[in-house]
Copies of this chain bind each other. A is one copy, B any other.
Amino acid sequence: MLKDLIRTNRSTRRFHQEVAIEIHTLRELVELARLTPSAGNRQPLKFVLSCTPSTNDMVFKHLTWAVYLKDWGGPAEGERPSAYIIILGDKTIADTFGYDAGIAAQSILLGAVEKGLGGCIIAFVNRDKLRVAFELPDHLEILLVLALGKPAEKIVIEPLGADGKFEYWRDGEGVHHVPKRSLDELILKQF
- Once bound together, how far apart are the Cα atoms of A102 and B100, in whole Å? 7
What class of interface size applies to chain A in its complex with B?
35 or more
- Once bound together, how far apart are the Cα atoms of A191 and B124, in whole Å? 22
Q: How many copies does the complex hold?
A: 2
Residues of B close to A37: CB separation below 8 A: 9, 11, 106, 109, 121
CB distance from A105 to the nearest CB of B (A): 6
- Once bound together, how far apart are the Cα atoms of A167 and B42, in whole Å? 8
* B186 x A41 contact (CB < 8 A): no
CB distance from A113 to the nearest CB of B (A): 9
Q: Can you list 14 A-B pairs with a CB-CB distance of less than 8 A?
A: A2-B107, A2-B111, A3-B31, A30-B186, A34-B181, A34-B186, A35-B157, A37-B106, A37-B121, A46-B188, A48-B190, A50-B190, A52-B191, A101-B102
